[in-house]
C-alpha cells in the first residue's frame, strides 16, 4: 500500500503527464493500484523501433520517490527480455543512485534512451537491426493477441488454431487480456489495423485474400505460400505451379510426346526395310 506521500506524488505526476504529454510516451496508473503504472513507448523515427508500440510496467515502492520503481517491458523488442526487471540506474536495481526529484516522465525517457543505445545490462539482449525492425512491425499484433494466444477471429479470414502459449506472452493463454484491460482504445485500434492489413491474429502474418478462392490456380499459390521460402524464390515457384495447373496434358508433355513419335517412326521404318 502506498504511503500518503507516495500516493500524493504519483497522483500529481499523472496529472502533469496528462496536462503536458511527453513525445513518444504514454503512461497511467492502474485503476486498482496507484503503485502499478502501465506505459507505452512509441518507437522514435530513424531507429530500428520506429512506429513500434512497446508496452511495459513500472511498479513503485510504497515509499516512492525515495526509492525507484521496478521496470519491465512486456512487448518483444529485440532489446529487452520480455517482462524481466531491467537493471538501469533509474530502476530498483540501484536505489542509492535514484534522485527523488526524478519523475515518471524522467524515468520513461531514461528507458527510451537506453533502448536506443547498445549498452548491455541485466534484462537486455543482443539482436540485429533487421530483427528489431521485424519485432517493431509485429508489436501491435503481439500486444492485442498476447503473442497469438487469442481465440478472437477476424471476419472473412479462415481461422487458424489459437496458440495457447503465445510467443513470449506475458501470461500463458493471456490472449491480450491484460493489455486490453489497460489500453482498451489502443486495443481496438490494433484490431482495426489487423483487419485492414489482413493479419492473422493467431500467427501475426498477412493472410492472402486469394485464400478465399477455390480455383486450382489459387490452391497452387496457397500451397507455395505455406511450404516455400519467402522472397523471390517463392514467387517464382508459385508462378510455375499456377502455370502447370492452367496448362493441358499435351502442352505439359509435348517434348516427351515428340520423342515418342520419333522413336516410333524409326521402328516402323526399320520394319518396312526388313520386309
Does residue 10 contact residue 34 with C-beta atoms inside 8 Å? yes
Contacts with 47 (C-beta within 8 Å, 6 or more apart), sequence order: 116
C-alpha cell recorded at residue 48: 530500428
pLDDT at 164: 58
Does residue 85 contact residue 72 with C-beta atoms inside 8 Å? yes
Q: Does some domain include residue 121? A: no
What 3-state DSSP class applies to 28?
strand
**pTM given for the model:** 0.74
C-alpha cell recorded at residue 148: 497469438
Closest CA to 2 of 39, 30, 34: 34
Q: Are residues 95 and 198 in the same domain?
A: no
Question: 238-253 burial, b if ≥16 CB within 10 A, otherwise e?
Answer: beebbeeeeeeeeeee
Does residue 187 contact residue 180 with C-beta atoms inside 8 Å? yes
pLDDT in tens, the chain (275 residues): 899 999 999 999 999 999 999 999 999 999 999 999 999 999 999 999 999 999 999 999 999 999 999 999 999 999 999 999 999 999 999 999 999 999 999 999 999 999 999 999 999 999 999 999 999 999 999 999 999 999 999 987 766 665 555 555 566 568 999 999 999 999 999 999 999 999 999 999 988 643 444 444 334 334 433 343 333 333 333 444 434 444 455 555 666 667 777 777 767 767 767 65
- The residues assigned a catalytic role are 87
Number of domains within the chain: 3
Q: Which of 151, 182, 207 is the last residue of a domain?
A: 207
Domain with 110 in it:
4-115
pLDDT at 207: 84
pLDDT at 169: 58
What are the start-end ranges of the E strands in 43-108?
53-59, 70-73
C-alpha cell recorded at residue 266: 524409326
Q: Are residues 197 and 212 in the same domain?
A: no
Q: Does some domain include residue 122? A: no
Q: Are residues 88 and 101 in the same domain?
A: yes
Amino acid at each position: 500500500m502506498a504511503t500518503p506521500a507516495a500516493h500524493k506524488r504519483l497522483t500529481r505526476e499523472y496529472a502533469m503527464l496528462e496536462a503536458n504529454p511527453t513525445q513518444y510516451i504514454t503512461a497511467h496508473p492502474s485503476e486498482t493500484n496507484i503503485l502499478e503504472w502501465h506505459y507505452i513507448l512509441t518507437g522514435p523515427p530513424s531507429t530500428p523501433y520506429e512506429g513500434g508500440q512497446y508496452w511495459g510496467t513500472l511498479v513503485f515502492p510504497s515509499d516512492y520517490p525515495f526509492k525507484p520503481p521496478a521496470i519491465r517491458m512486456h512487448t518483444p523488442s529485440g532489446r529487452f527480455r520480455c517482462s524481466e526487471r531491467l537493471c538501469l540506474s533509474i530502476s530498483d536495481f540501484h536505489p542509492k543512485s535514484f534522485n527523488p526529484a526524478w519523475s515518471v516522465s524522467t524515468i520513461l525517457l531514461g528507458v527510451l534512451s537506453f533502448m536506443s543505445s547498445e549498452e548491455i545490462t541485466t534484462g537486455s539482449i543482443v539482436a540485429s537491426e533487421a530483427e528489431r525492425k521485424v519485432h517493431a512491425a509485429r508489436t501491435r499484433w503481439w500486444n492485442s493477441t498476447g503473442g497469438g494466444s487469442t481465440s478472437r477471429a477476424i471476419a472473412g479470414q479462415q481461422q487458424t488454431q489459437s496458440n495457447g502459449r503465445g510467443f513470449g506472452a506475458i501470461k500463458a493463454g493471456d490472449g491480450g487480456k491484460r493489455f486490453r484491460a489497460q489500453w482498451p482504445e489502443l486495443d481496438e485500434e490494433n484490431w482495426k489495423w489487423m483487419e485492414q492489413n489482413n493479419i492473422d491474429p493467431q500467427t501475426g502474418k498477412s493472410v492472402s485474400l486469394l485464400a478465399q478462392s477455390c480455383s486450382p490456380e489459387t490452391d497452387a499459390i496457397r500451397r507455395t505460400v505455406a511450404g516455400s521460402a519467402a522472397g523471390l524464390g517463392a514467387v517464382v515457384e508459385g508462378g510455375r505451379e499456377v502455370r502447370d495447373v492452367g496448362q493441358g496434358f499435351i502442352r505439359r508433355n509435348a517434348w516427351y510426346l515428340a520423342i515418342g513419335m520419333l522413336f516410333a517412326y524409326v521402328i516402323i521404318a526399320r520394319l518396312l526395310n526388313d520386309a
